[in-house]
Amino acid sequence: MSVHQFTVRNIRGQEVDLGSYKGKVLLIINTASKCGFTNQYADLQKLYEKYKDRGLVLLGFPCNQFGDQEPGTNDEVHTFCQLNYGVSFPLFEKVEVRGEDKHPLFAYLSGQAPFEGFDLTTSGGKMMHTYLSEKLPEFLIGNDIKWNFTKFLVDGEGHVVKRFESPVDPLDIEPAIEALLG
């Protein structure tokens, strides 16, 4: 099985066969417009612009499961991303990424790249671990997505290579992207 076997709906409601991305390196992200990590859109867009001609595609999936930080409609999300961050990489309909109703794509992603914990040597990793430990300890159990802006790096054959948790700055993923692009 691979990511290429899934079908999703883009932000305009049209079905997209992820098989159409065969041969491309993908970075799949669950996003939100009102999150402390929302400013990552800027660096995600920079990565996309820098590497899209070499075969990188970012796929953004808005999600409202974490503190109601993506309350808008799909149109509002699309407009927000374009106006505030110039996002030109593909965005998709809002989905659930954890729990019983999680989208099958995210069930697959989190199953292929289990949660390995937050990097407690960074302030962001410490902050997320502390917040979830105190407020939502059940979120730390299992492999489901823990928060907005979890990033999955996928190779050209559709296999999940690595999971990067919310606090990981998109630019810190650049060496792993370059390694896959060759």
pLDDT at residue 88, as a whole number: 98
Give tens-digit pLDDT for 77-104: 999 999 999 999 999 999 999 999 999 9
pTM value? 0.97
Residue type, 131: Y
% of the chain with per-residue pLDDT over 70: 100
Residue 181 lies in a domain: no
Give the domain extent around 95: 3-175
Give tens-digit pLDDT for 108-165: 999 999 999 999 999 999 999 999 999 999 999 999 999 999 999 999 999 999 999 9
CA–CA separation, 178 and 120 (whole Å) = 25
Residue 152 lies in a domain: yes
Residue 45 lies in a domain: yes
Query: Are 112 and 81 in contact, with CB atoms under 8 Å apart?
Result: no
The structure tokens listed for 37 are 């990590």
Question: Residue 65 has what DSSP assignment?
Answer: T
Residue 180 lies in a domain: no
Find the CATH number of the domain harbouring 70. Answer: 3.40.30.10
Active-site positions? 35
Residue 92 lies in a domain: yes
Residue 124 lies in a domain: yes
pLDDT tops 90 at residue 182: no
Residue type, 61: F
How many domains is the chain partitioned into structurally? Answer: 1
Residue 182 lies in a domain: no
Query: Are 175 and 39 in contact, with CB atoms under 8 Å apart?
Result: no
